[in-house]
Amino acid sequence: MGLQKFSENEVLNTLTGLFRHHGYDGTSLSLIMKATGLVKASLYHRFRGGKEEMAVTVMDRVAGEFASDLLALLNEPGDPAERLRKTGERLRKFYGSGKKACLLDTLTLNRDSPAVQARAKAALEFWIDSFARFAEDSGGLPRVLAMARAQDAVSALEGGLVISRVSGNRAPFLRAIESLPERLMRPGR
């Protein structure tokens, strides 16, 4: 052929959905075949490193999008409160109001892939750092407090996603988003 049956983006979107909701071990190649419409050999043609390369590629892409589409907003000029509101809105959308799981959680159970593990850790820390920098610069919080507030904000979001997945209740996740201004801008003790 020489012609792609599905675009790189289509395949990666499918892979992202699978890894998000089944984790690394739960995302078998047969599942991937069904979901992508590609046979094993075709998948290995695109990802020579096999399943691990798929996971790493997905992590990198999602982390990149997360940083540029949603965390970058925090550093732009303009009213801080408005930027944070917009960030919350995109967070809600990114996680499907809580219906979509977080790769940082579901993709890090497998201990056998240091590559995935390291990327998840880096992405999580960049997320927290972005929140902390915002709390410092726009919220006027001292550095140490800003970090703690940022950690707790991300923690609330991740916890909300766990509750949502296990019990189907999306309220805690949505409240975690609504609490962002309180967490990152309220003057601190």
Partner DNA sequence: GTCTATAGCTTGATAGAC
Partner DNA sequence: GTCTATCAAGCTATAGAC
Our CB check for DNA shows the closer of 113 and 130 to be 113
Q: What's the Cα-to-Cα distance from 111 to each of 23, 115, 161, 171, rounded to whole Å? A: 12, 10, 22, 31
Tell me how far, at minimum, the Cβ of 170 lies from a copy of itself, in Å.
10
Nearest to 65 by CA among 32, 83, 44, 90: 90
Task: Among 35, 44, 105, 129, indicate the residue that binds DNA (CB under 7 A).
Answer: 44
Q: Which two tokens stand for residue 48?
A: 């020579």
The number of helix segments (H) and strand segments (E) in the chain equals: 10, 0
Q: Which stretch binds a copy of itself (CB under 8 A): 46-54, 61-69, 108-116, 135-143?
A: 108-116
Contact mark string toward a copy of itself, 51..90, x via CB under 8 A: ----------------------------------------
Where helices occur in 67-113 by DSSP H, the ranges are 80-94, 103-106
Residues that bind DNA (CB under 7 A): 1-6, 27-31, 37-42, 44-46, 48, 50-52
